[in-house]
Chain A
């Protein structure tokens, strides 16, 4: 039984309707976002089910999940703090920023705070080089940019995120 299809019949039809019937695979990205909504990551089963819906090889879908840092392969925190450390950002101190941020929070890159609220990740270009150090926060179905950051401002933001109780 295709659980994804069962759970979101309306949403999936709306997404599929946006693309020509013989180009169904174009719907792979919105379907991945949909599948990620609840568990917070893409499960193996979701890969299978999206493959069935779009008649697409599972490996191709997995490859898309691997390419984009917006899709998560493993369970993580409610919020993903994704710091860009590509070359221009690194020249503006992003790598040192990330190192100190992690030390302050007490977790390593890729790890989640013990309360399960925040995961810190290192990602590729977020197109905000001139405002580095910068990061994006992904969670509660939303993405927000945080530019010209200092370790202090980031620590403060993460503390606020960890205090949130209900979804915004």
Chain B
């Protein structure tokens, strides 16, 4: 229900805003800047800093009649308060008059700034925030030229306090606004930083292990209104005014967070544009004004010294540098020879443009376009959260989501679909069936390709059965392991049921942004049997080491393109940095190869998207212009008033386009029949282990971020104490786990929250477990040194 509107006046503006809105926000709507430090539009007001003082008047009401008292000229009589009010805690009311530009208000602001500055170090010349600092800006606007406080009585506090290894605190600069503490408590629900002591001794502390243990910690550096909190990554890295910004997307997961790369030209890289930091870019439909630390810190792969910078061709058993023409001519010749016996294997971090051109190349040869993934069901996502909804969580193990769930269901990995079968009869199922809108988010936690595919089928069936599809806010949303897995499905890539056989039988294998040999030793062996292997990548991956030709690809930050997020929003990103060496964008390399084979493919990103729009029905009508469209978002951030929303960026380069679901396009979806997944039999003495995802994984694009070394997932086996005891394993010890031809040493983690008789292994850590697997376990005897 729409809220009642109230009419009020702010300075010379008369405006109508919804009842209950705070004066500070109402002023923002008409471009009246009310300075704030502690207030933030995404958090509850606290009125701590007093910077937003304004003069508030309300109409005088005659107590006898209840009528508004009129002045002689007929206008309502306004009574102002004896003192100024904080605009951040005062809701608007009918007939209110707010004055923000009087001498009285200006004097109050000056006094508040003077108080805040009593012990502020004013070390702006060496402060990372200098240049985009709310306190610096407001001091210039309202502060006194000189301080009346005695210099020698300034409090001096610690200036280099690590809150963990990712975020640093400068206690002297802190003005105690509490935005960081409130963000962690209210927005993230990771209460790992807090106030300690009182008054001038107040400081921010963390007691978590590791320090500031929250994957959203970097956001506190954006909303800190001074330079008290800085990321270890950007600290002393560059001055804000030296950098320009490039609109981009995070490439680490399918949420599709909108980000901005701040770049500058640096002499030490030969005058190249270098990324200095990643900042959130506002998209209220996706990431609002936040981003996680994986996205914020995980760009270092683009500048890694290990990046490939020139094509390599195998000569005399060695990969040696070659020119582009030589490499491409050789590849084209081999592709011609292979004919329809070509397999194109692509990873989900490629852009839609790359994937489309690769698919066209595979089609032209009559070959196969294969997606490297252990999760299925992308063809059903065309079935396309409201806050305050009921959340039903179905997982084999406890997760953080349980805390927010209204219903939590646990299942044994083998009985996943039984859980779905009886679901509608359960209490949670009734809530689901009766809900006006319902979404199913499904992932591959603990599942392999086959199980996740069946899961998608079962979820789709459930949505169709309950009528939750084909309309807004309803449907199926896959939580993919890669940023553009959805785009890969949409461009026609499908996982192979047996990738090993597929590789072995191919005369030519063209692999882009995928590392099957690094993931699975069995696939490395299969690759060696393939006749000719072409690898197009950022790094000399395990797979590239098995290649006959290696083609250096430009990182996504060095070119433009588009990704399709898990909820099927197509968004574009722009070039930020200078390409490494001779590296070229994937879609251009493919187009140049295709050209040699007599197939004409577009070699400009915008033109590729035009062709996608023409050939992929769901993408009809899309263009780069369309993806670049923006409309005003609330709250208004990123303008000159950095004090209001923080240093996140306003979105000027595109909010993206949500694809219509199949039903909206009038397409019918054939629902495949779901079957219960087949689980491996677990012989006596073996244990069923399942792969689980970790945010800080060991993926090729995250490993180069050295800052995350202490938090990155390691090869480990997590199990319940009872299960650990059964296998003779001790917490903190090591174990050898083995199955079908591999044996890996892992750390043992014991966790009483895990189900009995099940082991958890993080993906990407070198343990080739891609779905439920029966493994044998033996403890590693640790030698105790005398």
Contacts and interface: CB of A to CB of B under 8 A. Distances in A.
A105 B271 CA distance: 67
B195 A63 contact: yes
B613 interface: no
Contacts of B199: 124
A47 B195 contact: no
Interface string A55-71: 00111101100110000
A67 B205 contact: no
Contacts of B197: 66-67
B208 interface: yes
Interface in A20-62: 47, 57-60, 62
Contacts, number: 36
Interface residues of A, number: 10
Contact of A124 (B191, B193, B198, B207): B198
Contacts of A57: 191-192, 207-208
Q: Which of B195, B205, B206, B207 has the most CB of A within 10 A?
A: B207
Nearest to A124: B198
B367 to A, nearest CB: 54
A124 B194 CA distance: 20
B202 to A, nearest CB: 9
B196 interface: yes
A102 B537 CA distance: 71
A59 B194 contact: yes
Interface in B182-198: 191-198
Contacts of B206: 59
Contact of B208 (A58, A63, A124): A58
Contacts of A62: 194, 196, 205, 207
A67 B198 CA distance: 6
A146 to B, nearest CB: 22
A29 to B, nearest CB: 16
Contacts of A67: 195-198
A66 B202 CA distance: 9
Given A47-B207, A66-B205, A60 B191 contact: yes
A95 to B, nearest CB: 14
A47 B205 CA distance: 14
A15 B76 CA distance: 57
B198 A60 contact: no
Nearest to A64: B194
Contacts of B192: 57, 59
A33 B193 CA distance: 23
Contacts of B191: 57, 59-60
Nearest to B191: A57
Given A57-B191, A59-B191, A60-B191, A66 B196 contact: yes
A47 B207 CA distance: 10
A59 B207 contact: yes
A57 B208 CA distance: 8
Interface string A106-142: 0000000000000000001000000000000000000
A30 to B, nearest CB: 20
A60 B208 CA distance: 10
Nearest to B192: A59
Nearest to B195: A63
B194 A63 contact: yes
Contacts of A66: 195-198, 205
A24 B32 CA distance: 45
Nearest to A57: B191
Interface string A63-84: 1001100000000000000000
Nearest to A47: B207
Nearest to A63: B194
Contacts of A59: 191-194, 205-208
A62 B205 CA distance: 9
A58 B196 CA distance: 12
B195 A58 contact: no
A59 B194 CA distance: 6
A123 to B, nearest CB: 10
Please indicate which of the listed interface residues B191, B193, B194, B197 has the most CB atoms of chain A within 10 Å of its own CB: B194
Contacts of B194: 59-60, 62-63
Contacts of A124: 198-199
A63 B198 contact: no
Contacts of A60: 191, 194
B309 to A, nearest CB: 45
B705 to A, nearest CB: 25
A67 to B, nearest CB: 6
Interface in B54-83: none
Contacts of A58: 207-208
B542 to A, nearest CB: 41
A88 B469 CA distance: 67
Contacts of B195: 63, 66-67
Interface centre among A47, A59, A60 (most CB of B within 10 A): A59
Interface in B204-235: 205-208
A66 B198 CA distance: 8
A22 to B, nearest CB: 12
A62 B206 CA distance: 9
A38 to B, nearest CB: 22
A60 B194 CA distance: 6
B162 to A, nearest CB: 15
B184 to A, nearest CB: 9
A60 B196 CA distance: 9
A60 B192 CA distance: 7
A124 B191 CA distance: 26
Nearest to B193: A59
A63 B184 CA distance: 14
Contacts of A47: 207
Listed residue (A47, A58, A63, A67) with the most chain B CB atoms within 10 angstroms of its CB: A63
A96 B192 CA distance: 39
Interface in B521-545: none
Nearest to A56: B191
Interface in B310-337: none
A60 B207 CA distance: 9
A111 to B, nearest CB: 17
B744 to A, nearest CB: 33
Contacts of B207: 47, 57-59, 62
Interface string B457-495: 000000000000000000000000000000000000000
A163 B192 CA distance: 44
Nearest to A69: B198
Interface in B587-643: none
A70 B521 CA distance: 61
B24 to A, nearest CB: 27
Interface of B: 191-199, 205-208
26 contacts: A47-B207, A57-B191, A57-B192, A57-B208, A58-B207, A59-B191, A59-B192, A59-B193, A59-B205, A59-B207, A59-B208, A60-B191, A60-B194, A62-B196, A62-B207, A63-B194, A63-B195, A63-B205, A66-B195, A66-B197, A66-B198, A67-B195, A67-B197, A67-B198, A124-B198, A124-B199
A-B interface, 6 closest residue pairs, ranked by CB to CB distance from nearest: A66-B196, A63-B194, A58-B207, A59-B207, A59-B194, A57-B191
Given A58-B208, A62-B207, A63-B205, 13 more contacts: A57-B192, A58-B207, A59-B194, A59-B205, A59-B208, A60-B194, A66-B196, A66-B197, A66-B205, A67-B196, A67-B197, A124-B198, A124-B199
